[in-house]
Amino acid sequence: MSETERISGYAHPDVLVTTQWLAENSSKVRIVECDEDVLLYEVGHIPGSVKLDWHTELNDQDKRDYLDGEQFAELMKAKGIDRSDTIVLYGDRSNWWATYAFWVFKLFGHEDVRILNGGRAKWIAEGRELTRDVPDASSVSYPVVQRDDKTIRAFRDEVLAHLGKPLVDVRSKPEYTGERLHMPDYPNEGASRGGHIPTAASIPWSSAILEDETFKDVAALKAIYFDATGFTAADDFVAYCRIGERSSHTWFVLKYLLGVKNVRNYDGSWTEWGNLVGVPIATGEEPGVLVR
Amino acid sequence: MNSNAEAVIDDFTFLEERDRLQLLLEFSEQLPALDSRFGDNPELLERVEECQSPVFIAVEGSPERVLLHFSAPQEAPTTRGFASVLNAALNGQSAQEILDLPDDFPSMLGLDRLISPLRVRGMRGMLARIKRKTAEIAAAGN
């Protein structure tokens, strides 16, 4: 099956673009690179793209939260983005941070946001052009839009109330079982306990992608997220990981590729839950039972 | 702290915060190519955990003069930059000087607010690994 055929099979095919499409339409869209490695954009980026730093630009610097409406409007102006622009996001790490930025754009209701299928790695693997030139960016106006924390974002108390409904832990298996919080030679990543939220199904984020980092076809995705779990597109989902970046990737798969209407990303994720006083955790391979 | 390490800290902290990333990029570009006896891309053989970039570190020499070797992928410039900073600060120093470098050295570069905490911890991890291997060289030499 070709990539274009795969895309046309998704519930919302309009939110994914191919590298070829982007190469042909780059002047009609605003391209935004969002990486884990904060120096990658400087090494070389897709011509015309602007850099978005998830850590210093999307997050509030004084509290653990995202920008507010005023700050987001200022950020968009600084990036040269108008409210009506079509945004194409891409990045390293199989688009973890691109989908994270996508999710943040949607907290502010930006209408037309798309993901470059295969991300930075595929663009480079195909030998496409990179540049170090930084485009002039400034927009005249971006409205102040209130952030919507209700529709696609879940907070810890909402996750507690959600237990028993589809909950997806997208981290790697050893993180899920609690076998490890950190790798050899590396200090603890910031949670006091290892394990997962009771009842959570383990579906590592990477289940959704092929070797070239593009998304699997819709039948393969349905087999992983629905058939193997008993969940359906009509269910109410919550996804989480460590700080909400890998789960943005799965949130994107569930909502836009599989057409799940109600799916929220729990951005507090394990760095919050694994430290919370008074909440249960589960360890080992099994999801664990619901205790209230 | 040895004078090379002090000079690196001065180079970073002298700059405005935003310009420090540019300096880290310059460091990443100056990371010496790995000696061919270690093979191509040995970092890809090291165990890789999600959220961390692969990095290869070899430590050899004597207690009087410890030599460091690093390799990290081109697509991981931050990791390369950290490796290059440690190379500039520690390569060729005595084992004692390496062991004396404060564990907090990565935070002294003034990058904590520019780079996610996890990445700065990654650099601490590299330093810890260098120190552990240096301690083995020091112990073998005594």
The pLDDT tens digits for A85-100 are 999 999 999 999 999 9
User: 3-class DSSP state for residue A207?
Assistant: helix
A186/B122 CB distance under 8 A = yes
Interval A122-161: pLDDT, tens: 999 999 999 999 999 888 889 999 999 999 999 999 999 9
What are A25-42's pLDDT values in tens digits? 999 999 999 999 999 999
Q: What is residue A82's predicted lDDT score, i.e. its pLDDT?
A: 96
What's the pLDDT at A156?
A: 97
pTM: 0.93
Q: Tell me the pLDDT of chain B (142 aa) as tens digits.
A: 999 999 999 999 999 998 999 999 999 999 999 988 888 877 766 544 555 678 888 999 999 999 999 998 888 999 999 999 999 999 999 999 999 999 999 999 999 888 877 777 788 888 988 999 999 999 987 6
Query: ipTM of the predicted structure?
Result: 0.86
Nearest residue of B to residue A121, measured between CA atoms: B75
CA angle in degrees (0–180, nearest 5) for B101-B105-B108 = 140
On the question of pLDDT at A217 being above 90, the answer is: yes
pLDDT one-digit tens code per residue, A271-290: 999 999 999 999 999 999 88
Q: Which of A38, A43, A175 sits opposite B115 (nearest CB)?
A: A38
Report the gap between the CA of A183 and the closest CA in chain B (Å): 7
Q: How far is CA A224 from CA A93, A143, A213, A238, A240, in A?
A: 21, 40, 17, 16, 17
pLDDT at A225: 98
When the pLDDT of each residue in chain A is averaged and rounded to a whole number, the result is 94
User: Is the pLDDT confidence value at A55 over 70?
Assistant: yes
Strands (E), B3-117: 56-62, 65-71
Whether the per-residue pLDDT at A108 is higher than 70: the answer is: yes
- DSSP readout, A74-115? HHHHHTT--TTPPEEEE-SGGGHHHHHHHHHHHHTT-S-EEE
Q: What integer pLDDT is reported at residue B55 of this predicted model?
A: 86
Question: Under an 8 A CB cutoff, do A189 and B118 touch?
Answer: yes
- Mind telling me how many Å the CA of B117 is from chain A's nearest CA? 9
Helix axes B77-90, B117-141, angle to 10 degrees: 40
Beta-carbon separation of B51 and A92 below 8 A = no
